[in-house]
Amino acid sequence: MSRINDEGTERPRHPASPAIKRKDRAGSWLRGAVWLGAAALISKVIGTLQKIPLQNLAGDRVFGIYNAVYPFYQLLLFLATAGIPVAVSLLVAERRESGDDEGMHRVLRTAVALLGLCGAIGFAVMWASAGTVAGWIGDDEAAAAIRMASLALWFVPAMAALRGYFQGMERMQPSAFSQVIEQSVRVVVMLLLLYAGLTWGWSDRGLASGALAGSAAGGAAGLVTMLVFWWQAERRGRGHVKRKVGVAKGDLAEAAGRSTAAGLPVIRRLVALAVPVALGSIALPIFGIVDAFTVPRLLQQGGLEAAQAMERFGQYSRAQPLVQLVVMVAGAGAGALVPALAAARARGDLVQARLQAGLALRLAWYIGLPAALGLMLLAEPINVMLYADNAQTDIFALVGSTAAAGTLGAVTAAVLQGFGSVRGPAVFLLAAALLKVALSLALVPAYGLAGAAWSGIAALALPALLGLAAVRRAGGPGRGLGRPAWRHAAAAGLALACMAAALWLLGRGFAALPGWGGPQPSRMLAAVFALTGVAVGAAVYGAALLRGGAFGADELRALPGGTKLAAKLRRWRLLPRRTSETTYSAD
C-alpha cells in the first residue's frame, strides 16, 4: 500500500511495530500542537496589542464598552460554534481511521449547514436585542457596538467547521494560518476605523463600534483562507475534500437535501458531542457577562456616573487579555490532542492515549504557573507599559493570577474530551459560572473591583481541580502517579522559586534607579523593567526546569527540530543525563 504525503506524492507504507506507531502518533500530535499553539500565540499577541492603542487613544471608557460588549459576542459565537470543531474533528478522525472517505465528507457538509443556521440565528438574536442588552449593562451607547459585533456571526461558524475538518485529518496548518490571518485583518480594520474616528471626532459610541466591526472583517478573511486551503486540497486530489462535496461547488443546500437521510445520524452525533462542550465553553464569556452586569451598575450605586463606572470597568479589564493569551495558547495546543486521543481510543491503544494526555497536563502546569507568577510580580511595570498609568495595579495582579487555573482547566477539558468524557467539562464549567455569579453578587458590593477579581479566581479554580480529579477517574495519566510525577512537581517548584528570586533581585535593582519612585514610574522605565523581567524570568525558569529534569531528550526529539535542540541542551548542560534517555510511561 501507499500513502499520499503533504507534498502530494505517494510514499510506501511499511509495517511497523506498535511502539513505532505510538511514537509516530505522539510526534504527529506534538507537531500539530506546536502549529496550533504557535498560531494561537501569534494571533493572541496581535489581539492583545490591538487593545493597547484602543485604550491609549480612545480611553478607559471606550475600552470598558469594548470589554463589556465582547463577552456577549463571544457567548453567542461559542453557542453557535464551540464544540462543533471538536466534534467534527472527532467524527472525521474516527471515519479516517476506518477509511470511510464519504463519511468524512458527510460530516463536513452537515457541520457547515448546521453552523450556518446557528450563526444566522445568533446574528438575529444579537442584532435585535442590542438595545436591551445595553440597558442591562448600564450604558445605552453600547448598543451600536453590539450590532457591529454581530456581523461576524455570518462568517465565523462556517470557518469553524472547516477548521474542525482539517484538524480531524491531522492537518493543523490550515487552522493555524487562518487564525493568524483572521486576527491580523481584524486588528488592521479596527486600527483603521479607530484612526478615522479620532480624525473625524467620533463619539465614544462610534469608536467602540468601529473597534468591534473588525471582528466581522477578520471572520470573513479567516473563512476565505480556509476555503483556499480546501480548494487547494481538492485540486491536488489527496482525498481531503473531493469534488462531490456540495459546498465546493456552491450547492450546499442541494447536497444536504440529497443526503438528509444519511446525514441525520451525523447531526445527532454532532449535537450529542458538541452541546456539552458548547455549554461548558460559555463559562468564560459568562464570567465577562457577570462582570459587565454587576461591576458597572454596582459602581454606579456607589455614587459614580455611568461614564465613570465604565471607565473603572475598563481598568478592571486590563489584565484579562494577557490571561486569555496564556489560556488560549494552552487550549489550542491541547485541542490538537483530541483527534489523536480519539484515534487511539478507537484502536484500543490506551497506553498511547495516556502518554499524550500526561504530557499535555505537564505542559499545562509548566505554562500556567510561571505565567501567573510573572503577571503578579510584574503587575505594575506591565500595567504602566501597556496602559500608561498604574491604576488598579493590585486588581491587575489578582486577575493575572488566574492564568494558572485557566490553563489547567482548558487542558483538562481537552484531555477529558479526548477520553470520551464530553459532559464532564461542561458540568464543571457551568458550575464555575454559577459560582462566579454567586460570589460576584456577594463580594462586589462589599469589595468592589477586588471582589470581582477574587470571585474570578475561585470560579476558574473550580473546573481546573474538578477536571484534574476527573482525569484520574477516567484512567488517564492521573492514575498511578508516582515518582515521575513527584519529580516533575519538584522540578517545577524549583524553577518557580528561581524565577521569583530573579525577578525580586531585578525589582530591587530597578527600585534604586531615578524615575522609578513617586506615585507613578516612568513609562519608558516601566517598559524596560517589564520586558527585561519577562526575558529574565522566562530564561531562568526554562533553564531551571530543564536542569531539574522536567523533560527527557526523547520527548524533545518528538518536537519539530527537537533532535538538534536536545543535542544543544545537552552540550549546554541544561539536560541532565539521568533524564536524557527517559521514555514515556503509562504512569
Summarised one tens digit per residue, pLDDT across range 523-580 is: 888 889 999 999 999 999 988 888 887 776 666 665 545 677 777 777 777 776 654 3
Each residue's pLDDT tens digit, 151-172: 888 888 888 888 888 877 767 7
The residue that leads in pLDDT, 495 or 488, is 495
What pLDDT sits at residue 370? 93
What pLDDT sits at residue 326? 82
- How far is the C-alpha of 266 from the C-alpha of 538, rounded, in Å? 46
What pLDDT sits at residue 22? 47
Cα 467–471–473 angle (5° rounding)?
Answer: 115
Residue 482 confidence class, pLDDT cut points 50, 70, 90: very low
Single-letter code of the amino acid located at 9: T
- How far is the C-alpha of 321 from the C-alpha of 392, rounded, in Å? 15
And the C-alpha cell for 164? 474542525
What pLDDT sits at residue 461? 92
Beta carbons within 10 angstroms of residue 513's beta carbon:
13
Half-sphere exposure of 297 (CA within 13 A, CB side): 15
Q: Do the domain assignments include residue 491?
A: no
* Residue 306, Cβ density class (10 Å: 0-12 exposed, 13-18 middle, ≥19 buried): middle
What pLDDT sits at residue 126? 85
Q: Do the domain assignments include residue 522?
A: no
The residue that leads in pLDDT, 433 or 338, is 433
Position 375 pLDDT exceeds 90:
yes
- How far is the C-alpha of 242 from the C-alpha of 475, rounded, in Å? 38
Q: What average pLDDT score do residues 319-324 get?
A: 84
What pLDDT sits at residue 577? 62
Place of cell 486551503: 229
Q: What average pLDDT score do residues 482-496 get?
A: 73
The residue that leads in pLDDT, 126 or 235, is 126
Structure letter (DSSP) for residue 487: H
- How far is the C-alpha of 244 from the C-alpha of 248, rounded, in Å? 8
Each residue's pLDDT tens digit, 24-50: 444 455 565 566 656 666 776 776 667
Across 471-485, 503-517, 557-571, least confident range:
471-485
Buried b (16+ CB within 10 A) or exposed e, 211-246: bbbbbbbbbbbbbebbbebbeebbeeebebbeeebb
- Domains in the chain: how many in total? 1
The residue that leads in pLDDT, 344 or 115, is 115
Each residue's pLDDT tens digit, 42-100: 776 776 667 777 778 788 888 888 888 877 777 766 665 666 677 777 777 777 777 77
Q: Do the domain assignments include residue 87?
A: yes
Helix (H) or strand (E) holding 3: strand 2-4
Q: Do the domain assignments include residue 469?
A: yes
Domain that residue 237 falls in: 23-481
Single-letter code of the amino acid located at 258: R
- How far is the C-alpha of 292 from the C-alpha of 289, rounded, in Å? 5
Classified as helix, coil or strand, 11 is strand
Q: Do the domain assignments include residue 133?
A: yes
What pLDDT sits at residue 7? 39
Cβ-based neighbours of 414, under 8 Å, separated by 6 or more: 331, 334, 335, 337, 338, 360
And the C-alpha cell for 270? 454532532
Position 301 pLDDT exceeds 50:
yes
Q: Do the domain assignments include residue 572?
A: no
Short-list 585, 550, 367, 362, CA closest to 468:
362
Q: Which residues pair with 11 in a beta bridge?
A: 3
Whole-structure pTM value: 0.67
The dihedral over CA atoms of 468, 469, 474, 479, expressed in degrees to the nearest 10, equals: 90
Classified as helix, coil or strand, 566 is helix
Buried b (16+ CB within 10 A) or exposed e, 271-283: eebbbbbbbbbbb
Q: What average pLDDT score do residues 425-438 get?
A: 83
Position 20 pLDDT exceeds 50:
no
Cα 45–48–51 angle (5° rounding)?
Answer: 150
Each residue's pLDDT tens digit, 459-469: 999 988 998 88
Helices (H), ranges, 474-561: 483-511, 523-547, 553-557
Position 179 pLDDT exceeds 90:
no
Position 338 pLDDT exceeds 60:
yes
Please answer whether residues 559 and 30 qualify as being in contact, where contact means their C-beta atoms are separated by less than 8 angstroms.
yes
Q: Do the domain assignments include residue 368?
A: yes
How high does pLDDT run on average in the chain?
A: 75
- How far is the C-alpha of 329 from the C-alpha of 41, rounded, in Å? 5
Place of cell 486588528: 187
Single-letter code of the amino acid located at 493: G
What pLDDT sits at residue 336? 61
What pLDDT sits at residue 76? 67
- Percent of the chain having pLDDT more than 70? 70
Single-letter code of the amino acid located at 173: Q
Q: Do the domain assignments include residue 517?
A: no
The residue that leads in pLDDT, 581 or 99, is 99
Cβ-based neighbours of 215, under 8 Å, separated by 6 or more: 73, 148, 149, 151, 152, 186
Q: What average pLDDT score do residues 505-514 get?
A: 84
Position 6 pLDDT exceeds 60:
no
Which of 159-168, 278-287, 332-341, 510-519 tops mean pLDDT? 159-168
